[in-house]
Amino acid sequence: LSRNYGHQNALWAGMTAASVDADIVVTIDADLQDDPNSIIEMVGAYHAGYDVVYGVRNDRESDTFFKRASANLFYKLMNKLGVNIIPNHADFRLIDRRVLKQLLQFPERNLFLRGMLPLVGFSSTKVFYKRRARQAGKSKYPLHKMLLLAWDGITSFSEVPIRSIIVFGFLLVFLSAFYVLYGLIRWATGHTETGWTSLMVSIWLLGGIQLIVIGIVGEYIGKIFKEVKRRPRFIIQDDLYTKPKPPRIKNSDSSSNV
């Protein structure tokens, strides 16, 4: 590439170039911490009929405590936000040509391939492997880049952060109603300071109303957000009106050719 366009864009460029001639494409990080020998098992799963094969780490022993804890927290958070990603899977995967063709039709520019590929669908499976420790060099993916990638994943696939504003707004309105009741009780018992109740109620009430209004505006922005991505409404896996695809025949020599 003419310059550093970022990790996800580099992967996209490689897959775009390979899609011209390849029947299957395997992506793997250049540091080879992901086990290249697992590609043989991936090809075997492809011949068994799977269109996407995810390389999944069987443990995170090679990571530091902070990275291991933050990764587990990230996967749990994405699951809570309704984003479908494969835990402990990075960018080591095998993709069938027809899946890749559909994936490359996604026009969005903020790429998060770990979330985009499950959106495409098709049959998939996992191959588990042990991730090796880095033998040489330093990681080109420091903490701030990982955080930016995580943020792209959250904001590109979930509207929960926007909708949570409305929930918080209604919570503040509820609290203001509670303060009204509390203020009336204090007034009835003669334990009030002049102006305190009206000041607190107005702050909570107006703050809650403002957040609700912002949340409603956010709902419309969320719909604009979906429209500008121009993601396909559906993807056809098998067209019953065309000649069916011939079954894959496993080549006994496929492992030696990988």
Report pTM: 0.61
- pLDDT winner (highest mean) among 34-43, 62-71, 241-250: 34-43
Contact 25, 95 (CB under 8 A): yes
Q: Hey, is 30 helix, strand or coil? A: coil
From the list 139, 122, 123, the residue with the least C-alpha distance to 235 is 122
70-80 tens-digit pLDDT: 777 777 777 77
Question: What is the CATH number assigned to the segment(s) 7-158?
Answer: 3.90.550.10
187-211 tens-digit pLDDT: 677 666 666 667 777 777 777 777 7
- Do β-strands 52-57 and 124-129 pair in parallel, antiparallel, or remain unpaired? parallel
Domain boundaries, the chain: 7-158, 160-229
